[in-house]
Amino acid sequence: MSSPTTRSLVAIFNSRAEFIDALREALDREGLPTATALLAEIQDGTLDLVAFLEAHDPKVIVYDLPRPFEKHWNFLRLLKQTDGLRKKTWILTTTDKQALDAAVGASGVIEIVFGEPYGVGEVVEAVRRALKDGRPEARGDLP
């Protein structure tokens, strides 16, 4: 991977533009630069993910797992196996932790998942911990 052109400590990949904007603004206030993309842009190839990672090289990725869970879970698993993403710290958000676990058996596989209702502040705190320690605190884990 070549040297990044702009260092963004956090990448936000979400299905909702309004959540991306709110989280980006909150992280910017904390002095944490971000790079963002809609999940649809990644999944349909509109966004060149390899170029995105080379340009920004985020340490932490905040990733949304919307419905249908099976489709998005399989895509996430594929992403996490790529060279550029394998060693990143991932913070996952979803609308329903229990339904996600029932659909894909995610318990014990994910470091942290915030299920709704979750606030931007909780995700910002998890990002801060992840940047400090390399791993977010697991208080939001699936049961």
- The closest of 40, 15, 37 to 24, measured between CA atoms, is 37
Assigned CATH class of 10-140: alpha beta
For 86-140, how does the pLDDT look when each residue is reduced to its tens digit (9 = 90+)?
Answer: 888 888 888 787 887 787 776 554 455 666 667 888 899 989 988 988 665 544 4
Written as six digits, the tokens of 67 are 């419905």
Q: Strand (E) positions, the chain?
A: 10-14, 34-38, 60-65, 89-94, 113-115
Reduced to 3 states, what is the DSSP secondary structure of residue 1? coil
Where are the domains positioned within the chain? 10-140
- What is the structure's pLDDT at 2? 46
